[in-house]
Structure 1
């Protein structure tokens, strides 16, 4: 086999690993068997994919895809049901609240900014699609953490270094846990200049047909303009919008169904 053939074979094997992991998370030993290959070859391919950010090892030592492939295919993402369903609501919401509206998803303990619509203001919000942020210091991330079980939260805090980005960043696990309890009770999360100075945000959950939180809708604005008073004045409207988006994605509120019955 010449060098060119080896390169083609290596590329084919890399794609095969991605396809296998896309089906479900796989262990190293499982990949060796499915690839019908040796440990050294599979290890080299896995290491390359891991270093490039396409896969990661989860808490059970299984390899799992990150969402980097989504960022490479942004045009395909824009045709995804979530964005197709959400777009009309986002356009209306931007006009109503006169602030930047963002749709985010989550991967590898990070918030992934999927899309945004900006209010036409001289002061622009630096939250670009494709950018990521740590879960613990942004509204959408803290909201996502509020959907973790207590065990999942402990695992998260065991592996996450809570470093400070601003003077308002919460770096105490106990304080974060208390905030997560509050978020669970109120159904939304607030970022008070915890990731970037002068930037404040509020986030609400979006659920799919499995009744799992798959994304968040957040409003971001400069803190002097996006005051706490303004934040709480839009809670009802945004809650209703995220509920409608979730329902269009197949979500059924079991509590409300129980009340109706």
Structure 2
């Protein structure tokens, strides 16, 4: 009976998961030599493991420093296993309410290694093509991207910001940085969507009890019906419901 419980295992898989666990426990980017010191695996074998995990997206290797961190696939798996389902279940009633109130598409986005990714959408008007769907990575100059830039830990978004800024002229970078200060103060962001012309968006953060950003709720629709600033009645509603949603996760203003 004991032999059945133990079963047969795959040693290489156990070694591989041990490498991932070692990296995860350090909670910081690690160089190849640091990982080898932690795992005591030969250089040739360790390289094969790290190269495989990087190709699969389980690890991410910085092109500049060569350091390794947990990759986007692990984040996606983690969200699917526990956090995403819990968060999505809690906020879904709010998303439907916002959709009905605004008569516009409502998106919920989470952070991944590649940037903010849409993980939930509510769209009763399928005739409106907003140019985004579940799995879409949103750019930094989108309303959601601005919220992540304003509230996400700088160490986490550093590489993403750097890559996104390369696509923008210097004046756009300066404008985004100034705008982020206002977003931090007002708790709401606005944008003319870069993905589709004539479409605008407004986005607000969802925080947990530690005041860490869980994700963003974004309302997307035709520019003539989406607010351009916080003085609009609909913007007041968004700011208020933002507090209600975050309150579900223990956040207190």
Relative to the length of structure 1, the TM-score reads: 0.77
Q: Could you tell me which of 47, 50, 56 is aligned with 1:52?
A: 56
How far apart, in 1, do the equivalents of 2:198 and 2:16 lie? 43
2:13 equivalent to 1:11: yes
Matched residue, 1:104: 109
SS across alignment from 2:167: coil
Q: Deviation of residue 43 (structure 1)?
A: 2.1
Aligned counterpart, 1:240: 240
Could you tell me how far apart the structure 2 residues matched to 1:153 and 1:12 are? 31
Alignment correspondent of 1:250: 250
1:116 positional shift: 1.1
Structure 2: gaps of 5 or more residues:
1-9
Mapped contact 1:137–1:195 kept (Cα < 8 A):
no
User: What is residue 147 of structure 2 aligned with on the other side?
Assistant: 143
* 2:72 equivalent to 1:67: yes
Structure 1 pair 122–243 and aligned structure 2 pair: CA distance change class (3 A)? same
**Unaligned residue ranges in structure 1 (runs of 5+):** 1-7, 254-261
Q: Counterparts of 2:126 and 2:97 in 1: how far apart (Å)?
A: 16
User: How far did 1:237 drift?
Assistant: 1.4
User: Greater CA deviation, 13-22 or 222-231?
Assistant: 222-231
1:1-261 residue pairs with structure 2 within 5 A?
Answer: 8-23=10-25, 24-25=27-28, 27=30, 28-57=32-61, 62-71=67-76, 76=81, 80-108=85-113, 110-134=115-139, 136-147=140-151, 157-163=161-167, 172-226=172-226, 228=228, 232-253=232-253
Shift of residue 252, structure 1, vs aligned partner: 2.0
Cα contact 1:100–1:219 (8 A) shared by 2: yes
Equivalent residue pairs, number = 241
Answer whether contact 1:100 1:116 (CA < 8 A) is retained.
yes
- The two structures, once aligned, show a CA RMSD in angstroms of 3.3
Structure 1 residues 126 and 77: alpha-carbon distance in aligned structure 2, compared to 1, 3 A threshold: farther
1:207·1:246 contact (CA, 8 Å) conserved in 2?
A: yes
Question: Higher mean Cα deviation, 212-221 or 184-193?
Answer: 184-193
Distance in 1 of aligned mates of 2:164 and 2:230: 32
For the residue of structure 1 that corresponds to 2:219, the secondary structure is: strand
CA contact (8 A) 1:20 1:26 kept: no
